[in-house]
């Protein structure tokens, strides 16, 4: 259900859905990029070694009267 909401409703392609949590009345969808969609930003090579990253939170369209955020590892 949540994967189809993210794909069809939010247009989020290339990410795997992990889980949803409720934080202060807001829905937060946690996702991670699919391995085949990650590439080097400079040369475009697909075989990369991860050396850290950040968890970022992006605002999305609300569902009903609940605010929605998407949390992704970038």
Cross-strand bridge partners of residue 27: 22, 68
C-alpha distance from residue 12 to each of 21, 43, 63, 69 (Å): 18, 24, 15, 12
The predicted-structure confidence for 60-72, as pLDDT tens digits, reads as follows 889 889 999 999 9
Please tell me whether the overall predicted TM-score, pTM, comes out greater than 0.75 for this model: yes
Question: Residue 73: which pLDDT band, with cuts at 50, 70 and 90?
Answer: confident
Cross-strand bridge partners of residue 22: 27
Per 3-state DSSP, the chain is made up of helix, strand and coil in percentages (nearest 5) of 15, 45, 40
Strands (DSSP E) along the chain, which ranges?
A: 15-23, 26-33, 55-63, 66-73
DSSP state of 14: S
């Amino acid at each position: 259900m949540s994967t189809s909401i993210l794909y069809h409703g939010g247009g989020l392609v290339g990410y795997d859905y992990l889980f949803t949590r409720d934080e202060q009345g807001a829905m937060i969808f946690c996702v991670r990029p699919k391995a085949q969609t990650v590439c080097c930003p400079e040369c475009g090579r697909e075989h990369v070694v991860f050396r850290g990253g950040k968890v970022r939170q992006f605002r999305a369209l609300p569902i009903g009267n609940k605010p929605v955020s998407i949390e992704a590892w970038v």
